[in-house]
Structure 1
Amino acid sequence: MASSFPLTAGALGPVSNLFSIVALAEPWVAELDNGVFDHFHPDSRWTLALNAVSLVFGVLANASLLANFTGRVSYNLSQAISIGSFYFASILLLSIIGTTYRVYLSMIDRGLEVEFSQGYWSAVITAVLYFLCGLVLTSNEIGHLRGFYPASFILTSSQRSLMLQILCIIVWLAGGGGVFARIQEYSYGDAIYYCDVTILTIGLGDLHPTRDLGRAIVLPYALVGILILGLVVANFRSLVISSSREMRSLSRVDQLRRRNLKRQDSEVSNEASFHLMRKIHRSAKTRDMWTVLAVSVVLFSIFLLIGALVFAKLEGWTYFHGIYFCSLSLLTVGYGDFVPSKPGTKSFFVLWSLIAVPLMTILISSMCDTIIASVVYLTTKLGDLTLKNVSSTSTSDLSRVVLRRMTTDLESRGRYQPPSNSSAMTRTLNTNDDLDRENKEVDRELMLINAIQGILIDLHVNRNKKYSYEEWNMLAQTLDTQFHWLGSDSPIRFPVDEPALLLRLYWNSLNEHLRNRRRWES
């Protein structure tokens, strides 16, 4: 509620503003001539006025939400403005939608051939999205009032940047719609549909540039739009999916740790506890990845099937043809044999495609982490078995060898050579006890330096390395402590960058040791 809900509102808010602009720019009722569009029936002044007021409140709600994301407006003030504005904008649109529907029925009674335009259906979509945004933010406020989290959105700077990127793609669509509506003489709703199909690289072909100016502009427009969309999709995957999966994994690991800690027998060895903690991490990570895959498959399938049902009903297709159209659209094949032809279908397609892209991203990401990763692992193992005699040195081992050779070569060039009269550089030891202590101190320093050198190589070669029990035990002996691997103070309780952690601990130990030795010598 502290992170996912604000992200949802921040993503749906700009999309709802886009549809609200379409609802204001395009009249809501179109008159036909033998089933073919003839002209738009002009909206009344009060309809335009209320529609404009609704757009203003929708933009105000999103501006307040964005100001909250950037920290320019306090949480409580922003929530009051955003929630109130979203609900008020939705109510205004619903009122004029109902009134326009009655006007539509009266025109049919007079024998006129009419249909609702994309402006009307965009208003319906906008009213629903505004209400959802208000509902999501209300739920977030309830969580704050119940004390689950402080008066702030629990978002990282990268997640806040994602909201700005979503706003950029919406502005790019809205601006492109205005340009192509002017050049190609499309209605604004058709121009938005054309820009959406172009940026998503679907290319259905029902709308295409017919003038050289339009062909010249669409090339840079599509290129920039695809780049912005790719940035949004990439950040959506890395921030939304990865961060939520990490939070679930941490929660799952801590639950399993506490459960095993209660069941643990006092006679269980320390090494067994270490390996049990490692097993808990692996099992939790594996379970979470497959759970995300299952959830993403279910959500994507539901979204695909519902979308196919809506398209089939609106266009008069069979349900199979609806699934065929949705599948080809998501795969960006775009044969063009089935295309949206009615205003309501085009408006719904714009919304459906903008939501389908993140869902498709979630599905592909989950498959990469599970099924594809398993296939890659199996093929790698098969390659190791079949090509075992070709090369036995892995890339990681080769990197270590090269790094060691380069380090040795560089150190040998500037290696310090002591002067011949070394007696002036050494301290005279008076007793055998001092000599033994000196040797022990030197041995300890060499051990710490060798450990740090190995960790530095790991940082360059494999930052995600997980150290063995023996390596952690050596660290514990160096620090003169004992780790409780299943306890709340376990250093591997949560997934951490172990090379960086061990380097810091060894470095602190060496620093403290040298300070103590200096005091002893003085």
Structure 2
Amino acid sequence: MDPDPARPHSAWQAGQSGSLISRATASLSAPTSQTNPMSSMSGYHDIATRPTPSRWWFASSAFPMIAGTLGPVASAFSILALVRPWRQHRAPGTAIDTAPFIPDPAWLVAINAVQLGVALASNLFLLLNMARRVRFAIAQPLTIIGWFVSAGCLLGLTATARPGGPLERSAGVPVHQIMWSQAFYYGVIAAVLYFVVAGLMCVTVYGAASAHYAPDFNLSTSQRTLMLQTILFLFYLLLGALMFSELEGWAYLDGVYWAMVTLFTIGFGDFVLHKRTSRGLLVPFALVGIISLGLVIGSIRSLVLERGQLRIDRRIVEKKRQNMVDALDRSGHIDMLTPGAGSSEIQRRRAEFHLMRAVQAQAAARHRWLAMGTSFALWLVLWLVGAKVFAETEKHVQSWTYFDGFYFTFVSLTTLGYGDRVPQSNAGKAIFVFWCLLALPTMTIMISNAGDTVARVVRDVTIALGNVTILPGERSFSAEVKWLVSQLTCGALWSEFYTRDRLTRNGDAEAVLLREISGEGRVHLRSREAVARAIVRAAEADELEMPAAPRGWELHCVLSAEIAAVARDVCDEKARGKAYSYEEWTWFLRLLGEEEGNQQGHGVAGRKAEEEGWSWMGVRSPLMSEQDEAQWILERLIERLRRELYALEEKS
């Protein structure tokens, strides 16, 4: 094969920003040296593929997303804390809804307005930073300081409501007739939220300052817009509440409560529309609001179920991989991972590849159930703790017990909304608005996780029951019974059926190699198919009879066709996270200059030898990369083509 220029190592460090194509074509200068293709392949397996700790992923991705979501919520609650007085005069025997407001002191209104302005400025800087209009080093200190200032102001103002404090002394009514309004409780919630989001951003800034990641948010474009989506939804909610409260003659904060119950499709019915104008406006208000809420929930779900899954999956895979290597070492079976030991190299590498796929399958299953357990635990916390909170807020107003709160929160979480139990106290309504903002995303994520775990188990068991009863299956009746028992006992009985099923379903299933391409790309189709057949023959006959590797213009055509094919996998949402078969990986590595049947360049996982070679079970394995498999392959195919074209130019 023609000599290959050495690859500039810095251009391929994991985690660099920019598109795949721009990263591949940015390096147009001549490579500095030329090496043998096989030896240059070692550069393709960077040691940097070891996953970084999950805590720094949370700091660089999850925390900014949480702050970008809760920051605007805190500012919205600050607005609600300012638009109405904090005190009401409730005389004995009067209803809460008819209690008149007691005007706030001028100093309270002034400080409240100042903290709101500071908080809005902080949110603006965070939004501009996420939009990459203001640098991280400028925006984050201003955002954090502003949120802490707002939190301190609100905390100080709420402290004046203590027994015997300034707000009680200046009320001008008997102390026992003073009732704190919904605005007061919104101020308390806002103060807590400001402290939380400011603390999270402090961790993010610390991680960037400690060089654990770049001073920027590790967010996709859609996730960067989450903060803007949240702001627009909250603005729509508050504006709609103002419109309907004016039309129906409600108090504005009661209108906010009604709008929340409406857009979250709970529909208690304690506040209903009586005027024809209001009923007519409800249709567009509800449609636009529910769709906007769905977009926000979708972005949050994307963070938790997609980006979070990729990161945590890799951490679990790394732990299970290391445990597997250690177990093989202790049991004396490390030869399975040693180049040149035992069977032919192609068979050994194939077994090693499938072992890594089994590790990935086990890690994926563990992560699915871990995610399900975590989301279910959060849902239980919202349900049970929320029940206690609402029982306390309504105890003196409606004489609620804990069971009443338990029933109410369940009906609300599931959006049944019977309306026989609703919050009537000012504290209950304000807390319910915030509780709803937490409950719906949690419920959505739990249902999504249940679809990957509980629903899958139910589906498999249902199919298995059908196979052993009235529906014909691919296996015999006895095999179906053994398979069903092995699944129900988690492999305790007839474990061979349990293991075989998991490897087939989650492991390295054969991908279809034949795909429709046109023109000169057909040459790569024949080569790829021939390589796949040769690999299968080699594994069965213990010999390697590879067809000749493509060279010259044929190699250029093959690389171009494969780059186009893999690029489609990268761009296709349905193919995201695609796992390629061993035959496909062998083909791609061959295009990069490495033969799986040649032990040169191979190493032992977990041993010093891996510093010079690499193993499918090692930290330098492509399967352990921070990138998706398609992204890893695409970048290196582009680099390979660039090097080939440069070498061709040098010869001419």
Q: Could you tell me the TM-score, scaled by structure 1's length?
A: 0.80
Determine whether 1:65 maps to 2:126: yes
1: distance between equivalents of 2:641 and 2:309? Answer: 37
Q: Alpha-carbon deviation of 1:189?
A: 1.1
Equivalences for 1:387-406 in 2 at 5 Å? 387-388=471-472
The equivalent residue for 2:288 is 224
Determine whether 1:47 maps to 2:108: yes
Supply the AA of the counterpart residue of 1:73: V
Supply the AA of the counterpart residue of 2:622: P
Q: Alpha-carbon deviation of 1:367?
A: 0.7
Residue 31 of structure 1 contacts residue 112 of structure 1 at CA under 8 Å; is this kept in 2? Answer: no
Structure 1 residues 132-161: Cα deviation after superposition (integer angstroms, max 9, x where no partner): 122222222233333322322222222111
2: distance between equivalents of 1:82 and 1:117? Answer: 29
Q: Alpha-carbon deviation of 1:223?
A: 0.9
**Which of the numbers 238, 247, 272 marks the counterpart of 2:311?**
247
**Which of the numbers 487, 490, 494 marks the counterpart of 2:618?**
487
The equivalent residue for 2:349 is 270
3-state SS, counterpart of residue 286 of structure 2 = helix
Residue 87 of structure 1 contacts residue 131 of structure 1 at CA under 8 Å; is this kept in 2? Answer: yes
Supply the AA of the counterpart residue of 1:201: T
Residue 89 of structure 2 contacts residue 173 of structure 2 at CA under 8 Å; is this kept in 1? Answer: no
Gaps of 5+ in 1: 391-399, 412-438
Supply the AA of the counterpart residue of 2:94: G
Residue 625 of structure 2 contacts residue 632 of structure 2 at CA under 8 Å; is this kept in 1? Answer: no
Residue 257 of structure 1 contacts residue 486 of structure 1 at CA under 8 Å; is this kept in 2? Answer: yes
Residue 75 of structure 1 contacts residue 151 of structure 1 at CA under 8 Å; is this kept in 2? Answer: yes
2: distance between equivalents of 1:72 and 1:494? Answer: 31
Structure 1 residues 20-73: Cα deviation after superposition (integer angstroms, max 9, x where no partner): 111111111111242322311111222111111111111111111111111111
2: distance between equivalents of 1:207 and 1:31? Answer: 23
Q: Alpha-carbon deviation of 1:111?
A: 6.3
1: distance between equivalents of 2:90 and 2:625? Answer: 65
2: distance between equivalents of 1:285 and 1:441? Answer: 35
Residue 26 of structure 1 contacts residue 187 of structure 1 at CA under 8 Å; is this kept in 2? Answer: no
Residue 622 of structure 2 contacts residue 629 of structure 2 at CA under 8 Å; is this kept in 1? Answer: no
3-state SS, counterpart of residue 333 of structure 1 = coil
The equivalent residue for 2:457 is 374
Change (3 A) 1:177 1:381: same
Residue 193 of structure 1 contacts residue 346 of structure 1 at CA under 8 Å; is this kept in 2? Answer: yes
Q: Alpha-carbon deviation of 1:178?
A: 1.7
Change (3 A) 1:160 1:470: closer
1: distance between equivalents of 2:114 and 2:635? Answer: 59
Equivalences for 1:413-452 in 2 at 5 Å? none
**Which of the numbers 82, 88, 94 marks the counterpart of 1:35?**
94
The equivalent residue for 2:72 is 14
Q: Alpha-carbon deviation of 1:374?
A: 2.5
Equivalences for 1:345-364 in 2 at 5 Å? 345-364=428-447
Q: Alpha-carbon deviation of 1:289?
A: 1.1
Supply the AA of the counterpart residue of 2:212: F
Supply the AA of the counterpart residue of 2:63: F
2: distance between equivalents of 1:470 and 1:112? Answer: 79
Change (3 A) 1:508 1:462: farther
**Which of the numbers 380, 400, 404 marks the counterpart of 1:301?**
380
The equivalent residue for 1:426 is none
1: distance between equivalents of 2:208 and 2:581? Answer: 43
Residue 456 of structure 1 contacts residue 503 of structure 1 at CA under 8 Å; is this kept in 2? Answer: no
Residue 72 of structure 2 contacts residue 227 of structure 2 at CA under 8 Å; is this kept in 1? Answer: no
Q: Which moved more, 1:261-270 or 1:492-501?
A: 492-501
Q: Alpha-carbon deviation of 1:456?
A: 6.3
Structure 1 residues 337-373: Cα deviation after superposition (integer angstroms, max 9, x where no partner): 0001011100000000111111112211211111112
**Greater percentage in helix:** 1
Q: Which moved more, 1:508-517 or 1:24-33?
A: 508-517
3-state SS, counterpart of residue 90 of structure 2 = strand
Residue 314 of structure 1 contacts residue 345 of structure 1 at CA under 8 Å; is this kept in 2? Answer: yes
Residue 22 of structure 1 contacts residue 188 of structure 1 at CA under 8 Å; is this kept in 2? Answer: no
Residue 316 of structure 2 contacts residue 363 of structure 2 at CA under 8 Å; is this kept in 1? Answer: yes
Q: Alpha-carbon deviation of 1:315?
A: 0.5
Aligned length: 480
**Which of the numbers 256, 261, 280 marks the counterpart of 1:197?**
261
Q: Alpha-carbon deviation of 1:318?
A: 1.1
Residue 65 of structure 1 contacts residue 78 of structure 1 at CA under 8 Å; is this kept in 2? Answer: yes
The equivalent residue for 2:358 is 279
Gaps of 5+ in 2: 1-58, 343-347, 475-511, 520-546, 597-601, 603-614
3-state SS, counterpart of residue 3 of structure 1 = helix
Structure 1 residues 294-332: Cα deviation after superposition (integer angstroms, max 9, x where no partner): 111112211211110010011111111111100111111
Determine whether 1:328 maps to 2:421: no
Structure 1 residues 359-392: Cα deviation after superposition (integer angstroms, max 9, x where no partner): 11221121111111222344455567755489xx
The equivalent residue for 1:183 is 247
Structure 1 residues 398-420: Cα deviation after superposition (integer angstroms, max 9, x where no partner): xx9xx98xx69x99xxxxxxxxx
Supply the AA of the counterpart residue of 1:493: M
2: distance between equivalents of 1:59 and 1:514? Answer: 54
Q: Alpha-carbon deviation of 1:488?
A: 4.1
3-state SS, counterpart of residue 247 of structure 1 = helix
Supply the AA of the counterpart residue of 1:92: C
Residue 68 of structure 2 contacts residue 226 of structure 2 at CA under 8 Å; is this kept in 1? Answer: no
Change (3 A) 1:480 1:145: closer
Q: Alpha-carbon deviation of 1:275?
A: 1.3
2: distance between equivalents of 1:89 and 1:241? Answer: 32
Structure 1 residues 444-476: Cα deviation after superposition (integer angstroms, max 9, x where no partner): 979x98xx79x9699699847644445544655
Q: Alpha-carbon deviation of 1:270?
A: 2.1
The equivalent residue for 2:136 is 75
2: distance between equivalents of 1:511 and 1:103? Answer: 74
Change (3 A) 1:42 1:471: closer
Q: Which moved more, 1:220-229 or 1:501-510?
A: 501-510
Residue 256 of structure 1 contacts residue 280 of structure 1 at CA under 8 Å; is this kept in 2? Answer: yes
Supply the AA of the counterpart residue of 2:355: L
Structure 1 residues 111-136: Cα deviation after superposition (integer angstroms, max 9, x where no partner): 66231111111111111111212222
**Which of the numbers 208, 217, 230 marks the counterpart of 1:144?**
208
Supply the AA of the counterpart residue of 1:288: H
Residue 6 of structure 1 contacts residue 153 of structure 1 at CA under 8 Å; is this kept in 2? Answer: yes
Residue 158 of structure 1 contacts residue 239 of structure 1 at CA under 8 Å; is this kept in 2? Answer: no
Supply the AA of the counterpart residue of 1:339: V
Supply the AA of the counterpart residue of 1:212: R
Residue 108 of structure 1 contacts residue 114 of structure 1 at CA under 8 Å; is this kept in 2? Answer: no
- Name the Cα RMSD after superposition: 3.9
Change (3 A) 1:487 1:138: closer
Change (3 A) 1:516 1:347: closer
Q: Alpha-carbon deviation of 1:500?
A: 8.2
2: distance between equivalents of 1:134 and 1:259? Answer: 38
The equivalent residue for 2:61 is 3
Residue 168 of structure 2 contacts residue 175 of structure 2 at CA under 8 Å; is this kept in 1? Answer: no
Q: Alpha-carbon deviation of 1:12?
A: 0.9
Q: Alpha-carbon deviation of 1:505?
A: 8.2
2: distance between equivalents of 1:259 and 1:389? Answer: 37
3-state SS, counterpart of residue 492 of structure 1 = helix
3-state SS, counterpart of residue 81 of structure 2 = helix
